[in-house]
Amino acid sequence: MSLLFSPLRLRSVTFPNRLWVSPMCMYSAVDGVVQDWHRTHLTQFASGGAGLVVAEATAVLPEGRISPRDAGIWTEEQREAWEPIVSGIHARGALAGIQLAHAGRKASTWWPWAEQRGSVPASEGGWITSAPSAVAFHGFDTPRALDAAGIDAVVAAFAAAARRALDAGFDVLELHGAHGYLLHQFLSPLSNLREDEYGGSLENRARLLLRVLDAVRRTAGEEVPVFVRISATDHADGGFSPEEAAVVADWARERGADLIDVSSGGLVAHQRIDVFPGYQVGLAGTVRRGGRIPTSAVGLITAAEQAERVLEDGEADAIFAGREWLRDPHFALRAAHELGVEMPWPPQYERARWR
């Protein structure tokens, strides 16, 4: 039996396999509304055998977008635009998830292929960003520190976004607490210099993440899985550490999280990352054991046997991949073929199944 192609049940949801599509920003929305590009992009992975397709980081507030071209779910128009995409994913046999996000001090930036870099000025559609402290990411404008009312508004926005996502038909909700965005900014002492109940100790730095999780868990009810993506290390001295990540994961489990999606980095420009195939897998194992919660591994996992071995070694319960799905939207079908696993293929693709 292949672990990669065995089902996984979390709450009321059974995932048909454990090879999933990571959220990947497309920078192709208009006023937060996803377009035809998103439909084609996401549904192709379902045709390719993915057990779960997670839509890109989707802003819960307009000022929470990474760029002016980011997807959002703070309006009903945006929710309506997601509905046919979710239906298309379901029609092709996969489950649909969405990553709810707020970019904090890394918001209002140019998209990757823009000629400019750094923060987008107001004259070009940019805005003033917010963060735990008035400390800028390298090369970006200085954010304003959130006050108590601003923090409450963020929590309420995540809950409202979760409601819209469920109304759009999503099966899984993921909170983006990684890659240097707002929830991660609160977690790390490198970006959180507060002296109130949201700063200082790990318990205080995790307070916003856990408040958001509580609000989303209440909205989701008891049946819908809620994931939390974290960067388990900042790859920088004095930053958020794997040991702290395991503690936060345990707290999240107690508050109703079902799986920790373990990534790393993104908080500071001076990070130093040793990149190699599966370079983040050990972090997923650390969080899994210390947090006593299912985890997913991600990071240069590109081959069927490699993904299978991660699960066999007990480092994670599922595999997220990103770039490999972009290179091959039928990654799961190929992986199953290579492992000799029987799995449903679209009848239109049957001629490629065995030869």
Q: Which residues are catalytic?
A: 181
Do 169 and 86 form a contact (C-beta atoms < 8 A)?
Answer: yes
CA distances from 287 to 127, 200, 212, 232 (A): 36, 22, 20, 8
- Between CA 24 and CA 35, with CA 30 as vertex, the angle to 5 degrees is 65
Do 307 and 335 form a contact (C-beta atoms < 8 A)?
Answer: yes
Residues near 236 by Cβ (< 8 Å), separated by ≥ 6? 190, 267, 268, 270, 271, 272
Do 227 and 174 form a contact (C-beta atoms < 8 A)?
Answer: yes
* Cα(106)–Cα(146) distance, integer angstroms: 14
130 φψ region: left (φ > 0), alpha (ψ -120 to 50), beta (else):
beta
Residues near 348 by Cβ (< 8 Å), separated by ≥ 6? none
